[in-house]
Structures are given as C-alpha cells and as structure tokens.
Chains A and B, each alone.
Chain A
C-alpha cells in the first residue's frame, strides 16, 4: 500500500508534466516573437529605403522659350519643330538657370557650365520639348518651369547624398551640393510628394529621378484582369464538377493528385510552358499582359480549385440532404445551397491565388515582360496585346541598375506591391464578412 497522497503537493510526475507544458509554451512564444521580429525588420528596412521614392525634388525657375532656337523655320509646325532634339533644349535650360541665379544673387563658386547642367535632370529637356511640341504657341513666352532635379541633388535633399560622399562621387561635387542648398534657401528647390512615381513610365539608367511605375502597375492590372476572368470561372466550375458530380474512380483520383501536384510546380516551369505554347506555338506577342495573364492563370487554377473544393466539402451534408429531400435536383442543391455557403471560402482562395499571381516574377522573365517599356499600353482588350512591364519584374529590373537612386525606387515599388497585396487581402476579409452575415 502506498501512503495517501496530499492534493496540496504536486507529485514528481505532475511536476514534470507541468514543466514540459511550460517549456512548450515558451518555445511557441519564442517562435511567434522571432516571426514578428523578422517581419518588423523587413518592413522597417523596406519603408526606410523606399519612403524616399515617394518624395521628389523639383527646381522651379523662369525659362524663356527661345522661338528662334526651338523653331528655326518659324512656322510653329510640330512636325518640323521635332527636328530640334533635346540637345537643343538643354543649353537653354542651363542658361535660364544661370541667369536666374545671377539675378537672385546666389553665389556660384567653383561651378562650371557643365556642373550647372548636372543639377537639372536629363529628363527636364525632354519634358520641356514634349511640352513645346504639344503646344507650339508657348514659344517666345517666359514660363515658370518646374523641372526635375538631378538624381544626386534629389538624393542630397533626402539625405542619401552628403558633402562627404560627394567627395568620393564622380557624378556630383560638394560645390554643386552647396549651390543646391543655396537654391533651396532661395526658394527655387522644393521636395514634395511624388505622384509621378505612380504615373510615369520607366526611365533609363541615367535618369532614376524620372523613373515611375505607371506601365508596370497597368501591366499587373491587366494581367490580374485576365487571371480573374479566366481562372475564377474555370477553377470554380472544375472544382464543382470534381467535388459534386464526377464519379469517384481511378481517373478522377489521378486528376485530383495531379491538381495538387500542379500547385507545387515551380513557377518558372509555367514560364517555359508559356514561352513554348503561347508565344512560339500560338504566336502571341512577347511582353504582352495577355501571355502573362494566361501563364499566371495556369498557376492560379490549382489554388482556386483546391480552395473551392475544400470550401464545398466543408458544407454540412445535412444541408444537401435537406435540399435533395425536398425534391431539389443535384444542380439546384449545389447552386442554391452548397455554393452560397462555400462562397466565402472560394473568395478567399481566389484572392490568395490572385495575390500569389501578382507577386510572381520568374515566369514573366521568360515571356519577355522584363523588357524596358516606356509606352503606355492601350485600353483593354487591345492593350492586352501591347508590351508592358509588371510590378515585381520592375522591382527586379531596378535592383539590377547601378545608380543607388534605383535602390530607393525598387524599395518604393516593393511598398506599392505590398500596398496592393494588403488591400486585396483586406477586400477578401471584408467581402467574406458581408457574405457570412447574410447567410
């Protein structure tokens, strides 16, 4: 006989058990904390690097649009005026800047004409030229022109470039920075929110200050449109058939296993497939959102099918029996009862699939969406066949360029991508809430 045990003192076995439980909780908490820490680190890094992309430095000075120089023929015909390239505009802007600085009495110690030019972005003459060609009547007038500052000057006002780094930088001298500071003090330079980052097309490697996401956002949007229009109906129809109507035999088993396998196929394989079939065999154009959308549809289908089947499978069988018992046909019981109850799950699956597709890069590289595209695509449906870029590919593209200003742009593009993803998930949650309240 063992002595009677007191309930007030835990025995050795209980103590061991409690200790194991406490340890397990500690592991779990630690895992969660590590995860949150990694997320915070990631977000602060991206925000720290990318926030600058949403602010841009502009120089505003009065410029006289010299008619003799910009329209040598004097007939205001844009076709003939186009003969004057940006090289005709650049000296004019530099002169205007020099004159304005002299009038304002800003000291220009150690600044040559070439240094002065470099303060203004190379994009500025191009933008001025486009403005003049669009409206030849501006010639001869003196306008307050707002021009992009050069990439290094922009970096100086965002703290990326300092007088110390300028010493070691072949592209900018400390004297230029001192001048830029003097111009800012005189009210000629200001830094403000950069809408152009969201609306401009990409720009060349020498003009990071002009590069924007406009074409990439449109391209991604077009692709998501294609994916939604194709993957949702096909995926949901396939899932309903497989889950509700298909006989359970060896063939459907094989199909089922292969759908699960497809979900795990590396995305670049889908890119090769797209290249081989949609471009080489069908002959669709390269770099086009229609091809990207088709490839991403193939990738998204398994996700949607699996999510829809899981959602349908979770509808209680008693609801189906009730409908069948009332004399509803199989299709009525599915469409009147099972599908509405499964809708929140289908919706979540679809949006998760879309979000995956939105962030996918590898297959797009293979179908030529990595190209440098400055032309905006037309409106759909024709626009689906025009070359575009895509958000994740734009990030990939910019991280490969040498100018450090592109690091900032790439991080900014990542922020835009994240904002899109978060809002998609938010929409999923909101829609799901609404559906669940109604049912």
Chain B
C-alpha cells in the first residue's frame, strides 16, 4: 500500500482539476464554511476529514452545486473546474452534475432494475444512440464498479434487492455511467460492514487512475488507506491540507494533531 502511495505521490504533478478560492457558505445566518482555499488534483484521491459538523460534507456538495437545492443555502467565493467558474450565471448545474458525479452516504439505488439504475444517467443525457450502445455503457460501468460478475445474470432484478455493499457499488456504477471527470463521495462506507468497506475502498483506489476522486470520511484510517491528499476541516475552516502521509505522521497544525490523536472530535 505504501509503495503504491509513494508511486502516486511521485506523480503528484497531476493536472489541477478543481480550485476553490475564498469559499464561504451560509445556511441562513449560520456561517458554515469560512474562507476555504483548496486545490484538488486530477487522477488521485483527496480526502476531507474532520469532526461532525465541521463542514466537510457541505464543502463537498459545493463542488457539484448540490447545495443549490437547499433554499436557505448561499455560497460565495470562487470554485473553478478546469479553469471555469462553476458558480457563474451561465453554468447550468444539470450539466455540471453530469461532469461531477456523486455517491451518497447511504446507498440510494432507484427502485428500478439494476440495468435501469445504471442506464438512467446515460438516458437523460442522451449518451447512447441505440440499445446496444447503452448495453455497452451499462456493462462497462458495472465492470469498473466491480459489480459486473455479481450482477450480470440479474440485470432485470430490482437494485434495491442487492446487499448494502453491492448497492453502494451499484450507485458508483450509476455515477460513472454518465462519464464524469470528478467523483464526489460523501462518506460512502459509513453504512457498510467491514468487508463491503474493504471492497469499496479497493474500488476507489482503482477509480483514482481514471477520475479525480474526492471523498469525505469519518474514519481517519480510511483516509490514510485510500487518499493521497488529505484536508482537515474544523469548525468550518480548512485547517490543514497536505499529502496524506504528512497529515497523519507530521501535521503542522496543533488542531490536526489533536484530532488525529483523538483529543478533539
């Protein structure tokens, strides 16, 4: 594992994918995120850690504008994806979300067949010209999500009939079927047992070779296992952002050290 991380750390000159400048988020009068600057690189896993209520999920949801669906939420500052401001008036969040996929905390497959779950995104975005092409996308996505072998004989069975871990991998397959460039994962393993968690973590590691993956996690062990970069959030502020190895071995901020050693949070 460490060898792999070193190899990836060596390739850290990855292209910059997302860059946030002075991002503030308000829920009504509550100042949830305070002046966050962060630069997220392509083709690697970036983890957001921090105690409950620190704003890490809120910040993640800014990256695909899911916060737009909350009436009282207001975002200021600048977030760029490939150099384009995603909060500019001309940007349609619908297009943005096809590019920036999301996997949620609790597996939430649609109450439809496995096939229809994966095919839904390509269908609404018109990615397939015919049935054969759609079949291809579904198979490729399920293979990338490491679910094809388990699901290929039951594509017409409801996605809700799968086990928790399989459901979460189905949700990942569904997210990558639209051909995104960024995958946001909001505590994707918190509802899974240890075996399913290990499978999903391995999957995340594989996905990072193709996508820019941003994962929010409660588990510091998970962050150290899957990520190359880690950001520590506390009380709405980005306290520290550095290579994962460094954060867990030699943090520069007192608060980070306190959290990692279990004194706060």
Residues of A contacting B171 in the complex (Cβ-Cβ under 8 angstroms): 322
Contact A337 B97, beta carbon cutoff 8 Å = no
Stretch at the interface among A4-12, A36-44, A323-331, A420-428: A323-331
Whether B125 sits at the interface, judged by CB under 8 Å, is yes
Q: Are B108 and A327 in contact (CB under 8 A)?
A: no
Residues of B59-89 contacting chain A, CB below 8 A: 64, 66, 69, 71
Interchain nearest-CB distance for A323 vs B (Å): 8
Among B4-12, B98-106, B243-251, the stretch that binds chain A is: B98-106
A324, B97: Cβ atoms under 8 Å? yes
Q: Report if B174 contacts A (CB, 8 A).
A: yes
- Does A341 sit within 8 A of B, measured CB to CB? yes
Question: Does A313 count as interface, using CB distance less than 8 angstroms?
Answer: no
Residues of B within 8 A of A322 (CB): 104, 108-110, 171, 174
Shortest beta-carbon distance from A432 to chain B in Å = 15
Within 8 A of A (CB), among B215-253: none
Which of A320, A327, A336, A439 touches B97 (beta carbons < 8 Å)?
A327
Query: CB-nearest residue of chain A relative to B160?
Result: A439
Bound-state CA distance A377–B71 (Å) is: 53
Q: Find out whether the CB atom of B106 lies under 8 angstroms from the CB atom of A327.
A: no
Closest to A328 in B: B124
How many A residues, CB 8 Å from partner? 20
Query: Once the chains bind, are B174 and A326 in contact (CB under 8 Å)?
Result: yes
What is the CA–CA distance of A191 and B125 in the complex, to the nearest angstrom? Answer: 69
- Pick the contact of B94 from A247, A248, A319, A328 — CB < 8 Å? A328
- Contact: B111 with A326, CB < 8 Å? no
One digit per residue, 1 when the CB lies within 8 angstroms of any chain B CB and 0 when it does not, for chain A 395-439 equals 000000000000000000000000000000000000000000001
Is residue A2 contacting chain B, with contact meaning CB distance below 8 A? Answer: no
A165 CB within 8 Å of chain B: no
**B121 proximal to A (CB < 8 A):** yes
Q: Is the CB of A324 within 8 A of B124?
A: no
Most buried by B among A248, A322, A337, A341: A322
Partner of B124, one of A247, A319, A332: A332
| Contacts A327-B125, A329-B94 known; 20 new A-B pairs at CB < 8 A | A247-B71, A248-B71, A316-B108, A318-B104, A319-B111, A321-B104, A321-B108, A322-B104, A322-B110, A324-B69, A325-B66, A326-B101, A326-B175, A327-B96, A327-B121, A328-B120, A336-B124, A337-B110, A439-B111, A439-B112
CB–CB B178/A326 < 8 A: yes
The number of chain B residues touching the other chain, given as a range, is 20 to 34
Check A325–B94 contact: CB distance below 8 A.
Answer: no
Q: Which 7 pairs, one residue from A and one from B, show the smallest C-beta to C-beta distance?
A: A327-B98, A325-B102, A318-B108, A327-B97, A326-B121, A322-B108, A439-B111
Which residues of A are found within 8 Å of B178, using beta-carbon distances? 326-327
Q: Would you call B95 an interface residue if the criterion is a C-beta within 8 Å of the partner chain's C-beta atoms?
A: yes
Across the interface, B120 reaches (CB within 8 A) one of A247, A316, A326, namely A326
Q: How distant is the Cα of A323 from the Cα of B120 in the complex, in angstroms?
A: 9
Q: Would you give the shortest CB distance from A99 to chain B, in whole angstroms?
A: 76
Contacts of B120 in A (CB 8 A): 323, 326, 328, 336
- The answer for the CA separation of A184 and B102 in the assembled complex, in Å, is 83
Interface pair A327/B95, CB less than 8 Å apart: yes
Of B95, B104, B106, B124, the residue contacting A325 (CB under 8 A) is B104
Complex interface: chain A residues within 8 A of B109 (CB)? 322
The reply to whether B111 and A325 contact each other, CB–CB distance below 8 Å, is no
Q: Within the assembled complex, what's the spacing in Å between the Cα atoms of A328 and B95?
A: 9
B66 touching A326 by the CB < 8 A rule?
Answer: no
B residues within 8 A CB of A327? Answer: 94-98, 121, 124-125, 178
In angstroms, Cα B174 to Cα A328, docked, is 13
Decide: A321 and B125 in contact? CB cutoff 8 A. no
Cα A163 to Cα B112 with chains together (Å): 70
Contact B110 A321, beta carbon cutoff 8 Å: no
Cα–Cα, bound, A342→B96 (Å): 28
